[in-house]
Structure 1
Amino acid sequence: MKRLLPIILGMIVLFFVQTQIHAQGCVAIRQFSGIGNAVGQGNILEKGEWNISSNYRYFKSFRHFSGTEEHPNRVADNTEVINWSHGVDLNVSYAISERAYAVVSLPFAYNERSSLYEHGRNSRHKTYSKGLADMRIGAGYWLLPSEKAKKGNTAIGFGIKIPTGDYNAQSTFYNVGPNGTSEVRPVDQSIQLGDGGLGLIVDAQGIWNLRSNFFLYYDGFYMFNPRNTNGTMTNRSRASESIMSVPDQFAFRAGLFKPIPRLHGLGISLGGRAEGIPIRDLIGESDGFRRPGYIVSVEPRISYMLGNFTTTLTVPVALIRNRTRSLTDIIESTPENRRHGDAAFADYLINMNLAWRIPKKVKEVFNSID
């Protein structure tokens, strides 16, 4: 067991290396999460060691909900909006000390959106967006030193989300101009590459050793987006929704992880997660258009570690999809007309990651070559 302990700990730690959270539909949760979720190895890496990782995500959203009520007629009538989303994150993390860590995450995205209503409601067409999304930088700190963290530890992190992504990405819309001509317009908020806001991120993560070689993991974050609106036009009919809002974002995960020593590096886990966009921001105004809501999913994962490399596959499956009423829905409702917008959600998300922990021995080889 003593020989296996470093391997087990390494698997558990790298299990957190790419805990990325991504929207599963028109509720525009960006393709990044908290700061600590990208560098769970902070209490294992020695001072000066690095971790490099890449993460790929994919989903297709098409099921429409208002509240938790699904509208199956949208699919049956071929009027549903379909989003296909591909995201790749490149992450570099560094152990400043045994307990402190820093991370930089550079995300890229490619999105397609197919709809009728955005193209004159007569024929279905697609719009596109691709390129750099909003990057993030930050740092975190494990609360317990290694000698006191035999059963587990918790880290807190702080960071910023930098508006490097295009929040006015445009594409061709058909049948919307004079005499049914096409026009170049901003794409829907759900496939914009960024939101235009400088975000402030607070997060926490932890892992604790339970009986029978099970481990409890948990992590979550909240991103404050103080900017009110970003100036990007929505082309929606309601004046209150003519400009895109810059919303806050939140997420939380928890579950059980178990390494399988007999299978030499394999680990499995099962947990749940919730992520969403609130109706109102905690800091600043909340004007403009947003699709608030949340998704609750069951999250199975399998990971495999070989030396300093770890690969993981996670497939969260949606259990609850709730498109909550927006602030404009609430304000503009009347007793005779209760407004409640809808949003399209995915059934599941595919999330694949490859991480490389660079120990000091590898760094010494590089230095000797230089």
Structure 2
Amino acid sequence: MKISVQPAFARNLLSIVALFTIILISAEKSQAQGCVAVRHMSTCGNPNAANTNTNLMAGQWQVSASYRYFRSFRHFRGNHEEKERLKIGNEVINTTNALDLGVTYALTNRLSFSAVVPLSYTDRSSWYEHVDRVNGPRYHSQAYGLGDIRLQASYWLIDAEKYTNGNIAIGAGVKLPTGNFNTQDEFHIKRNDQVVLERRPVDQSLQLGDGGVAGLLEIQAYHKLFNNATAYISGFYMINARDTTKTRTYRETLNTTLANESYLSVPDQFSARAGINYAVFPSKGIYVSLGGRFEGVPVRDLIGKSNGFRRPGHIFSVEPGITYAHGKNIVTLGVPVALIRNRTKSVTDRQMNRHGDAAFADYLVFLNYAHRF
């Protein structure tokens, strides 16, 4: 007997996508990387299901390493690029290398548990944070080490034995404040006509953690469109209830009107992806994909206050990728290229009737390796 659950699948998919869209919209109209502190958040579930149409089975393990690289240097205020910054040479440059080490265990064919340990190294060069805020030599600050560990459970809503053309997974978890949210480095400060080195907290975009215990919500789904082609969507939202930390920004030393940004905010974060995977050589395990990627930091959090200093903003990218699956190994390479970058007004920007800026990258490089056993 042929079993068909396509109508039910479509209804479930639309309902969950609608719910997730409402969450994003409610987060201050969803207003990213670079100075916008979007941390590396690879999925806690099985990120390769849409590519290979194979989920983890009961008793299986999967270990993964997900690497991200970007270099941000283009400054935006709203969606307007301040190209003069590059001409003058006073742009802020962030170079980030991030690595997520993950492990997933499938308790059943549909329920799995994951843990992700993030590591990162970021170098930042600027003028304004050091002694000469107009011109002169560039000074650097760095941060490297352990970030905020994430624990999550994920559940596939469709029985894969009854329906093999698609599935929907929902996930929930917690992000723990294991990363140092008061990472410091040496800054060149002018005091009494003398240039001295002083240890201060690095910029928010370099901080290894955000200081909050956060809730994680996730959805991912895929469905076969036609021979060798599969559509995919995924969404992620991190809910941080904490308002601010006691990590100093020293922004009030730049301008007394920035006193309400003396401490770092603890922001929410979101991302969404959608596109199509195509099996070019399915027998050889070679797949290509093309989709869109939307990620950022909202102006206001879903829960709690949104005071302190944050750079809210979002970026929309077109995301080509290629996947190679061989035996128990899967390698995926993606290079999202930015089309829209927008540094939105923060709560304190609105209070002070101004508009802060942020630096964004032109593209990202994602490389993911997974092995199951």
TM over 0.5, yes or no? Answer: yes
Distance (whole Å) between structure 2 residues aligned to residue 123 and residue 58 of structure 1: 25
Distance (whole Å) between structure 2 residues aligned to residue 273 and residue 313 of structure 1: 14
Taking a change above 3 Å as real, the CA distance of residues 180 and 37 of structure 1, as seen in their structure-2 partners, is farther
Amino acid at match of 1:192: Q
The answer to whether structure 1 residue 277 and structure 2 residue 302 are counterparts is: no
Residue 35 (structure 1) shift = 3.2
Q: Is the 8 A contact 2:246 2:264 kept in 1?
A: yes
Residue 31 (structure 1) shift = 1.2
Distance (whole Å) between structure 1 residues aligned to residue 209 and residue 326 of structure 2: 36
Q: Is the 8 A contact 1:37 1:219 kept in 2?
A: no
> Which of 22, 26, 29 does residue 35 from structure 2 map onto?
26
Residue 180 (structure 1) shift = 2.4
- 1:166 maps to what in 2? 180
- In angstroms, what is the RMSD of aligned CA positions? 1.6
> Which of 113, 124, 134 does residue 102 from structure 1 map onto?
113
Residue 262 (structure 1) shift = 6.0
Distance (whole Å) between structure 2 residues aligned to residue 33 and residue 224 of structure 1: 16
The answer to whether structure 1 residue 218 and structure 2 residue 233 are counterparts is: yes
**Percent same amino acid among aligned pairs?**
50
Distance (whole Å) between structure 2 residues aligned to residue 176 and residue 28 of structure 1: 28
- 2:344 maps to what in 1? 324
Distance (whole Å) between structure 2 residues aligned to residue 316 and residue 24 of structure 1: 12
Residue 37 (structure 1) shift = 5.6
Distance (whole Å) between structure 2 residues aligned to residue 244 and residue 287 of structure 1: 8
The answer to whether structure 1 residue 344 and structure 2 residue 355 are counterparts is: no
| SS of residue paired to 1:90 | strand
- 2:67 maps to what in 1? 56
Residue 332 (structure 1) shift = 1.4
- 1:336 maps to what in 2? none
Distance (whole Å) between structure 1 residues aligned to residue 347 and residue 99 of structure 2: 32
Q: Is the 8 A contact 1:39 1:102 kept in 2?
A: no
- 1:128 maps to what in 2? 142
Amino acid at match of 1:227: R
How many residue pairs are counted as aligned between the two chains?
331
Unaligned runs of 5+ in 2: 1-31, 253-257
Taking a change above 3 Å as real, the CA distance of residues 45 and 319 of structure 1, as seen in their structure-2 partners, is same
| SS of residue paired to 1:148 | coil
Distance (whole Å) between structure 1 residues aligned to residue 313 and residue 42 of structure 2: 17
Unaligned runs of 5+ in 1: 1-22, 334-338, 359-370
The answer to whether structure 1 residue 145 and structure 2 residue 159 are counterparts is: yes
Distance (whole Å) between structure 2 residues aligned to residue 172 and residue 153 of structure 1: 50
Taking a change above 3 Å as real, the CA distance of residues 280 and 180 of structure 1, as seen in their structure-2 partners, is same
The answer to whether structure 1 residue 208 and structure 2 residue 223 are counterparts is: yes
Distance (whole Å) between structure 1 residues aligned to residue 45 and residue 368 of structure 2: 16
- 2:325 maps to what in 1? 305
- 2:169 maps to what in 1? 155
More moved, 28-37 vs 341-350? 28-37
